[in-house]
Structure 1
Amino acid sequence: MAAQAPVDEMAQLNVSDAAATKPKPGLDSATATNGNLNHDSDDSDDDAETAAPGADTGAAKKKKKRKPKKKKKNPTAQSDPPRVLISQLFPNKVYPKGEEIEYVNENRYRTTNEEKRHLDNLKNEYYNEYRHAAEAHRQTRQWAQKNIKPGWSLTDIANGIEDSVRALVGHQGLEEGDALKAGMGFPTGLSLNHCAAHYNPNAGNKMVLQQDDVLKVDIGVHVNGNIVDSAFTLAFNPRYDPLLEACKAATNEGLKHAGIDARLGEIGGYIQEVMESYEVELDGNTYQVKPIRNLNGHTILPYNIHGGKSVPIVKSNDQTKMEEGDVFAIETFGSTGNGYVHEEGEVSHYAKRMDAPKVDLRLSSAKSLLNVINKNFGTLPFCRRYLDRLGQEKYLLGLNSLVANGVVESYPPLVDKKGSYTAQYEHTILIRPTVKEVISRGDDY
């Protein structure tokens, strides 16, 4: 989920929902597998043995023997759509590590240092929870990349992703407090074309994905407040491939230079250099890919998607260093437009502020809504559809009151100039004592 740099002025652009041009396709709700799930049959009844005609009726009848029923085995492969618990696929509850990268230069010693290895081992449970969330993220996005096609509504895409995440971690979030145990780390970002971040369909949204769209898919998964934040971009027209490659390469460059004592401003310079080395040709015009300079990567804290440090994607004089124990979302945004975004459009993303003041709320609807937010989301970001899902009605007045009183922060969509195209790639990285671990790394990106 993007962190926005402070801005002084916001331009106004008109962003309208694209009209649906195709019938709304329904999501396949079947939980049939890819042919790989193995279940042993429970049918074990034997035919009863009967006495032969004319046999001695005084003879003792043979007792019917039943074989003990075999226990069902846990599934060994994921279903489509994903509905098999990650914990069932890994019955020992040890989840796959991300990409581990050894430190270099003056931090090279950390890889084998006994003291650092001991510190690492003390946090195994914490790392395992992060890996649990990361595996749910990988399996969800694998399904999304395979299935999302032009003609799908943004609402169907959002529901498909979010239903999968909740199923994989085993928390539907409908009971009070359940979503705080595991589930969505923030609302799924589904931002089209010149909209770079923070777009999620509200109820009644009719937008439909088109063949020439560029879709940023930003997914957050958490287990016990440990949030994996990772994003990718989908485009169905190959003319946008250089734009996507620019962001993917720039993100990997940022990950390469991340680590203990790395200066955030310098990382931004490395990202910028790679991003600006790409060009995109659209309709006979050539555009240098520009980093969106007022969007940043960020630290992640428990139940807090935007921590105190920001990772710029352009060179800056920020001398802040990465430190042992930090968790960072390294994300880059590239654009064929101005390389600068502003807030515009209907808000869907909200979050209770970590430093929310205690205010005397006059509206009863605001008080009751704050109680719902505290018990179901805490400081995790949420969207209007999540409130709808909990059965909340007529809450907008109360929600706006919470925003006006500084209790809840709103996150409007962030857009570059209309007619431009933007892309995004993002990974979460753990700055461990012995190595850095790109926790969200997969075979896809």
Structure 2
Amino acid sequence: MSMSTATDSVDDPTRGLAQEFDADDNDDIEEAINGMDASGSAKKKKKKKKPKKKKVEQSDPPRIPLSKIYTDGIYPEGEVQPYKDDNVWRTTSEEKRYIERTIDQDPEETYQSIRKGAEVHRLVRQHARKHIRPGKSLKEIAEDIEDGVRALVEENGLEAGIAFPTGLNLNDCAAHYSPKASDTTVISQGDVLKVDFGVHVKGRILDSAFTMNFEPTYDKLLEAVKAATDAGIREAGIDARLGEIAGVIQETMESYEVEVNGKVYPVKTIENLSGHSIKPYQIHGDKSILLVNNDDPRKMEEGEYYAVETFGSTGRGRIIEGGDCSHFAKKVDAPKVPLRLTTAKSLLNTINKNFGTLTFTQRYLDRIGESRYILALNHLVSQGIVEEYPPLFDQPGSMTAQFEHTILLRPTAKEVVSRGDDY
């Protein structure tokens, strides 16, 4: 089919076209006419806009993997605080900024792994805080939190998952209690509940905790502990001395008091608990931030990251171990000793494969199909291969509270990775 000549369309720009098409080609004629302007010239085709990708919304309860939402692998930054005093220069140092960019752009490095864990923590705790109420069982709360973490982080053995058992510590119990499968404990209106859970991505652990109460009697206790944790974070930084940070924590905490039934109780810092540095696959590193003034001269260093956590109490301010143990971890420096029990050898293989040196609980062993493991677990403990972490209690009748954040000591600034709108 030849094109019409220019002379065919002098009087009527469509005449030549009409002559060239058969009667059956009416649709094509109309399309050609519509494609011309008044002078008979072809109109420029408008480019069709590509439809925008629909943003994936998180479900409630949160169960959509974060990789489906943050498809570029870049996760939200936490709260950034400048360093104090002698370290202010780091903010504008080109050398330090270059080092930081290099780390930030490497997916195998610390930042994105911890930030992913932090976003998981924020979303899961946001849901948990809405649904933890009197009448809920500890087991139900723990499983809801752990299901959320597993789904969002896409649990995959030692690549990603839960960093340690969900701590649900009531009243005088300050730490290290996680419900067993048979636990029937239900929250009451007057309870003070510490919720402590962690997420790991490639062994990089995000550790954060908060406290909830359901009537106002112990509001001041929670306020004191939160203020002490925030004070510890403000004091933390490269070259900050661990002993001096502890002194500020204690001073802040013990400036509060709580009135209960007409009696005033000073808020005491729990002296034998501490914050701590974190290492890959190791929740407690080799540095501790005690909560009472001391002369520890060691300093925080660039590149380290810490769990800054504080505990306050209306009791004696000192905890002791008690109750059935629910937290276990293979020791980082576990001895290589011959195991006489075949079941212990098998259980150790399971621990190495699924947890490495991460902390676990009996419910996690149940979940992966282990059974009749108590004797084997006790044997691993007695041989010094696995460490027990029993629940920690202040005196009966007292109330304890905890707040905790993970901080990164970046080359240019301090990042409170786990900070959220709630605490």
Shorter-chain TM-score category? 0.7 to 0.9
2:161 corresponds to 1:161? no
User: 2:276 — aligned with what?
Assistant: 298
Alignment of 1:133-144 (within 5 A): 133-144=117-128
SS for the counterpart of 2:145 is: helix
2:114 corresponds to 1:114? no
Counterpart Cα distance in 1 of 2:194 and 2:120 = 19
2:163 corresponds to 1:179? no
| Residues 221, 267 of structure 2: 8 Å contact kept | yes
- C-alpha displacement at 1:90, in angstroms? 1.7
Which residue identity does 2:175 align to in structure 1?
Answer: A
Which residue identity does 1:85 align to in structure 2?
Answer: P
From 336, 351, 362, the counterpart of 2:314: 336
User: 1:53 — aligned with what?
Assistant: none
User: 1:28 — aligned with what?
Assistant: none
User: 1:217 — aligned with what?
Assistant: 195
Alignment of 1:398-417 (within 5 A): 398-417=376-395
2:338 corresponds to 1:363? no
| Residues 196, 415 of structure 1: 8 Å contact kept | yes
Unaligned runs of at least 5 residues, structure 2: 1-23, 25-49
SS for the counterpart of 1:382 is: coil
Scaled by the length of structure 1, the TM-score of the pair is 0.82
From 152, 155, 179, the counterpart of 2:136: 152
Counterpart Cα distance in 2 of 1:74 and 1:351 = 43
Counterpart Cα distance in 2 of 1:81 and 1:148 = 13
Instruction: Name the larger-Rg structure.
Output: 2
- C-alpha displacement at 1:283, in angstroms? 1.7
Which residue identity does 1:376 align to in structure 2?
Answer: N
Alignment of 1:70-109 (within 5 A): 76-109=56-89
Query: How many residues in Structure 1 have an aligned counterpart in Structure 2?
Result: 373
User: 1:262 — aligned with what?
Assistant: 240
From 291, 310, 320, the counterpart of 1:313: 291
- C-alpha displacement at 1:118, in angstroms? 1.5
User: 1:7 — aligned with what?
Assistant: none
User: 1:383 — aligned with what?
Assistant: 361
Unaligned runs of at least 5 residues, structure 1: 1-58, 60-69, 172-177
SS for the counterpart of 1:119 is: helix
Counterpart Cα distance in 2 of 1:392 and 1:129 = 30
- C-alpha displacement at 1:239, in angstroms? 1.0
- C-alpha displacement at 1:214, in angstroms? 0.4
- C-alpha displacement at 1:379, in angstroms? 0.4
| Residues 84, 237 of structure 2: 8 Å contact kept | no
Which residue identity does 1:307 align to in structure 2?
Answer: G
- C-alpha displacement at 1:299, in angstroms? 0.3
What does the per-residue CA deviation read over 1:396-441, in whole Å, with 9 as the maximum and x for residues that have no partner? 0000000111100010000000100000000000011110100001
Scaled by the length of structure 2, the TM-score of the pair is 0.86
- C-alpha displacement at 1:104, in angstroms? 2.5
What does the per-residue CA deviation read over 1:371-408, in whole Å, with 9 as the maximum and x for residues that have no partner? 00000000000000000000100000000000111100
- C-alpha displacement at 1:117, in angstroms? 1.1
SS for the counterpart of 2:157 is: helix
Instruction: State the percentage of identical aligned residues.
Output: 60
Counterpart Cα distance in 2 of 1:105 and 1:290 = 30
| Residues 198, 411 of structure 1: 8 Å contact kept | yes
User: 2:204 — aligned with what?
Assistant: 226
SS for the counterpart of 1:331 is: strand
Which residue identity does 1:129 align to in structure 2?
Answer: S
| Residues 176, 390 of structure 2: 8 Å contact kept | yes
| Residues 329, 359 of structure 2: 8 Å contact kept | yes
